[in-house]
């Protein structure tokens, strides 16, 4: 585990203020379990971006569990919320993030819409793998803007890793190809491939990502080993349709959910996992290299309802 972590709890502060405080003011002490209260709880959960389906399930479970007692308090409600959410997404959370078992070079292709935080997240991943003793190489396969290449280069300097790049406007798949060859030649453990997020049309973008994927696989059989989709937590429920445009054409293995620190929409973790059936593997909780967390649903729920 990384030692330099900022806490998930502070990262989730705005979401917690939004969700938990609304629940607390709704149920200040013991409260009669009316249909009205259940509807209000459900409403708070929906406004907290937890998703309509999960909110409905939770309200039904609270009703079933406490209707005999006719009263509930905040702690009882929260424990049902936690259990219900946990059971909903638990099937996705046993994925092994074990670094020690990675075969080298392990290639991670990072995709997502412009501005979601791909390049920054690659910087954080570089720091993470590097602090685990891995030799890391970055591939600047977003060649559309010189600024994008410079930005990745800065992350290389900040994290003390290596980079493969080319001039602005060159073929991104060629950079990916070169980086895969360099990864083999230099005994790299982890290759992180940065990509562009907006190329004229969605079809072009998906074709380009397919091509990058293909050339990497031609050099390193079985690669890329992981396709990581970066999603900005601020996009709330739109994150799901955004993610679908990628999962439709690429086999996305996991999600890196960014900007959890700046949003009150951190509940969106639940519908993303539930609807897309893709695990959230990492979360971003700031702009520094240390602001990365391996996602763990238990820790998340404890931080959210602390």
List interacting residues with ligand GDP (CB under 6 A).
112, 114-120, 197, 230, 258-259, 261-262, 284-287, 291
Candidates 146-154, 205-213, 262-270, 294-302; binding stretch for Mg ion (CB under 5 A) = 146-154
Query: Given the complex with Mg ion, which of 118 and 213 has the nearer CB atom?
Result: 118
Query: Given the complex with Mg ion, which of 287 and 299 has the nearer CB atom?
Result: 287
Candidates 118-126, 129-137, 174-182, 233-241; binding stretch for Mg ion (CB under 5 A) = 118-126
Selection from ligand GDP, Mg ion, none that 20 binds (CB < 5 to 8 A by kind) is: none
To Mg ion, the closest distance from the beta carbon of 197 in angstroms equals 7
**Residue 156 lies near Mg ion (rule: CB under 5 A):** no
To ligand GDP, the closest distance from the beta carbon of 275 in angstroms equals 22
- Applying CB under 5 A, among 119, 159, 195, 258 the residue interacting with Mg ion is 119
To ligand GDP, the closest distance from the beta carbon of 197 in angstroms equals 5
Cβ-based burial of 84 (10 A; exposed 0-12, middle 13-18, buried ≥19): buried
Candidates 75-83, 145-153, 207-215, 256-264; binding stretch for Mg ion (CB under 5 A) = 145-153
Candidates 76-84, 117-125, 256-264, 269-277; binding stretch for Mg ion (CB under 5 A) = 117-125
To ligand GDP, the closest distance from the beta carbon of 86 in angstroms equals 24
To Mg ion, the closest distance from the beta carbon of 98 in angstroms equals 28
Residue whose Cβ sits closest to ligand GDP: 284
- Applying CB under 5 A, among 82, 118, 124, 293 the residue interacting with Mg ion is 118
Task: List, as one string, the DSSP characters of the chain.
Answer: --SSPPPHHHHTHHHHHHHHHHHHHH-SSSEE--HHHHHHHHHHHHHTTS-HHHHHHHHHHHHHHHTTT-EE-HHHHHHHHHHHHHHHHGGGTT----STTPPSSEEEEEE-STTSSHHHHHHHHHHHHHHTT--EEEEEE--S-HHHHHHHHHHHHHHT-EEE---TTS-HHHHHHHHHHHHHHTT-SEEEEEE-S--SSHHHHHHHHHHHHHHHHHHSTT--SEEEEEEEGGGTTHHHHHHHHHHTTS---EEEEE-GGG-S-GGGHHHHHHHH---EEEEE-SSSTT-EEE--HHHHHHHHT-
Q: Which residues of this protein are in contact with Mg ion, per CB under 5 A?
A: 118-119, 148
């Amino acid at each position: 585990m990384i030692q330099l972590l900022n806490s998930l709890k502070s990262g989730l502060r705005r979401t917690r203020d939004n969700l938990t405080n609304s629940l607390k003011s709704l149920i200040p002490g013991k409260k009669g379990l009316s249909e009205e209260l259940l509807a209000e709880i459900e409403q708070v959960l929906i406004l907290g971006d937890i998703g309509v389906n999960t909110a409905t399930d939770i309200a039904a479970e609270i009703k079933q569990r406490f209707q005999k007692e006719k009263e509930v308090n905040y702690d009882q409600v929260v424990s049902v919320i936690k259990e219900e959410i946990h059971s909903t997404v638990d099937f996705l959370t046993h994925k092994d993030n074990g670094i020690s078992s990675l075969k080298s070079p392990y290639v991670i292709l990072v995709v997502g819409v412009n501005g979601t935080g791909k390049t920054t997240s690659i910087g954080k991943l570089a720091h993470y793998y590097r602090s685990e003793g891995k030799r890391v190489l970055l591939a600047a396969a977003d060649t559309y803007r010189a600024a994008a290449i410079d930005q990745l280069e800065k992350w290389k300097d900040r994290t003390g890793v290596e980079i493969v790049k080319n001039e602005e406007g060159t073929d991104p798949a060629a950079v990916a190809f070169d980086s895969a060859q360099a990864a083999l030649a230099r005994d790299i453990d982890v290759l992180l491939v940065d990509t562009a997020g907006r190329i004229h049309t969605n079809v072009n973008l998906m074709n380009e990502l397919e091509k990058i994927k293909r050339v990497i696989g031609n050099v390193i059989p079985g690669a890329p080993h992981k396709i990581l989709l970066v999603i900005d937590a601020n996009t709330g429920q739109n994150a799901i349709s955004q993610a679908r445009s990628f999962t439709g054409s690429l086999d996305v293995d996991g999600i890196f959910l960014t900007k959890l620190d700046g949003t009150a929409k951190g509940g969106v973790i639940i519908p993303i996992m539930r609807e897309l059936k893709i695990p959230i593997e990492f979360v971003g909780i700031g702009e520094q290299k240390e602001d990365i967390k391996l996602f763990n649903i238990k820790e998340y729920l404890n931080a959210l309802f602390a």
